[in-house]
Chains A and B, each alone.
Chain A
């Protein structure tokens, strides 16, 4: 199906374990983003990517690693999960076609619990 998919949708892990959240988009959008959503904080940007092999930090990057070897995939890795990383994670994509025509689309989210 077209759009953005995320996997897994739910994940429970333990402190110290490595976890990778997957994101795949079929629109060939240039930009991809990872956000976390927490009560009281809204959506906070973790990392974004402007194109394959180009990534940059967002507001809350510590403890996370991203890569983008292919345009359509943007995995997010928690190298050593901590309880503070318990959250709902959203992947998004957008295409900057020309000034003033930006639109961002979100995936369904991954609910991560770190015990």
Chain B
């Protein structure tokens, strides 16, 4: 199945720094989703985007639905240790087929 290209693959940052990651696809999507997965847990939905150009925030997290509908971006401001985990994106057009990114592993150094 199609996997979305997500970058970077991993990040090591100092506490307090901002983080940016992105996800690209060869296909357009109507919906972009961003998840965080902690070790041993299921992915937790962070932000859902439904409109090209849309910018949506959830606390220190901000995500954008790319104008081309083929990409999406996630920013985390002022990172804290509990931000550690794997972040991945997902795109869908139909609700019954979701395509997932390869994941970005985030490590926050106190």
Contact = CB atoms under 8 A, between A and B. Distances in A.
Interface of B (DSSP majority class): loop
Using C-beta atoms within 8 Å of the partner chain, give the interface range for chain B.
Answer: 20 to 34
A59 B97 CA distance: 11
B92 A104 contact: yes
A4 B42 CA distance: 10
B96 A96 contact: yes
A62 to B, nearest CB: 14
Contact of A31 (B40, B44, B95, B102): B95
Contact of A102 (B88, B92, B103): B92
A1 interface: no
A70 to B, nearest CB: 19
Greatest chain B CB density within 10 A among A33, A96, A102, A106 is at A102
Shortest 10 CB-CB contacts between residues of A and residues of B:
A96-B95, A102-B95, A106-B42, A100-B30, A59-B1, A108-B42, A106-B43, A100-B50, A43-B100, A102-B31
